[in-house]
Amino acid sequence: MNRSSVVKNTLILSVLAVAGTLFISGCGKNEAGAVVEKSNDVRTSIAYVELDTVIARFDMAKDKATELEEKTKNSEAELTSKSQAFDRDVRDYQNKVQKGLITRATAAEMEQTLQQQQQTLLARRDEMAYNLNEESLVAQRQVLEYINQYLAEFNADHGYEYILAKQFPGPILFSDTTLDITEAVVAGLNTKYNAEKAKK
């Protein structure tokens, strides 16, 4: 774990520890040290979202997953078709060699062609895997960026100082469920995304 991650995790845990102490105690002290009752209308400055739940229920993430699944199926179908054609060519070559239907020179040419065909097939498989992996990473970043942008808009109306992402496993070991804004964020994300999608 690099130093930046340690500092970030320590900061998050420190913020949660301080916030937890304040929220659990339900009271604070004024400058003179007198106890002040916690008002019911005081807005909490920290909230969190269950990030796995947000992503699982976010329509954009579902659409990206469907697109990627379709591309994966198409890639697999293409590879299957090319592999079957290659296998037919190999069987044809073996059949002709076994029956003595071709000269040694022709057999050597066919063998070289088959080797090139196999290398092309393997290169195409690797290229498809690389492209699908890259598209998956880009899709994940697009979804997270959309969520981040939405949270900035969401927070303009709510004024939280921090909106934390809770995941398992993760640095947040305990959270007060009254600070959970996952449902509101999911609803808002889907409303915004589907409205934008409808305009396209």
More confident residue, 3 or 152: 152
On whether both 85 and 119 belong to a single domain, the answer is yes
Backbone φ, ψ for residue 11 (5° rounding): -60, -45
On whether both 155 and 76 belong to a single domain, the answer is yes
On whether both 172 and 89 belong to a single domain, the answer is yes
Note the pLDDT of residue 144.
Answer: 96
Backbone φ, ψ for residue 119 (5° rounding): -65, -40
pLDDT at 49 over 50: yes
Note the pLDDT of residue 23.
Answer: 33
Average the pLDDT over 57-74 and give the result.
97
Please state, in angstroms and rounded to a whole number, the distance separating the CA atoms of residues 146 and 59: 12
Alpha-carbon dihedral sign for residues 125, 127, 128, 133: positive
What is the domain range of residue 19?
Answer: 1-42
On whether both 7 and 61 belong to a single domain, the answer is no
On whether both 62 and 37 belong to a single domain, the answer is no
On whether both 5 and 55 belong to a single domain, the answer is no
Give the percent of the chain with pLDDT over 70.
Answer: 78
On whether both 20 and 91 belong to a single domain, the answer is no
On whether both 119 and 139 belong to a single domain, the answer is yes
Note the pLDDT of residue 164.
Answer: 95
Please state, in angstroms and rounded to a whole number, the distance separating the CA atoms of residues 13 and 39: 25
Nearest to 87 by CA among 114, 111, 108: 114
Nearest to 48 by CA among 155, 175, 180, 145: 180
Q: What is the largest CA-CA distance in the chain?
A: 105
Note the pLDDT of residue 43.
Answer: 52
User: Which three-class secondary structure state does DSSP give residue 35?
Assistant: strand
On whether both 59 and 36 belong to a single domain, the answer is no
The pLDDT confidence band at residue 173, using thresholds 50, 70 and 90, is: confident
pLDDT at 7 over 70: no
The pLDDT confidence band at residue 40, using thresholds 50, 70 and 90, is: very low
On whether both 1 and 96 belong to a single domain, the answer is no
Average the pLDDT over 52-60 and give the result.
96
Q: What does the mean pLDDT of the chain come to?
A: 83
More confident residue, 137 or 27: 137
Q: How many structural domains compose the chain?
A: 2
More confident residue, 64 or 11: 64
Question: How does pLDDT run across 110-135, given as a tens digit for each residue?
Answer: 999 999 999 999 999 999 999 999 99
On whether both 36 and 51 belong to a single domain, the answer is no
Where on the phi/psi map is residue 33: left (φ > 0), alpha (ψ -120 to 50), or beta? left
Please state, in angstroms and rounded to a whole number, the distance separating the CA atoms of residues 83 and 118: 9
Note the pLDDT of residue 28.
Answer: 37
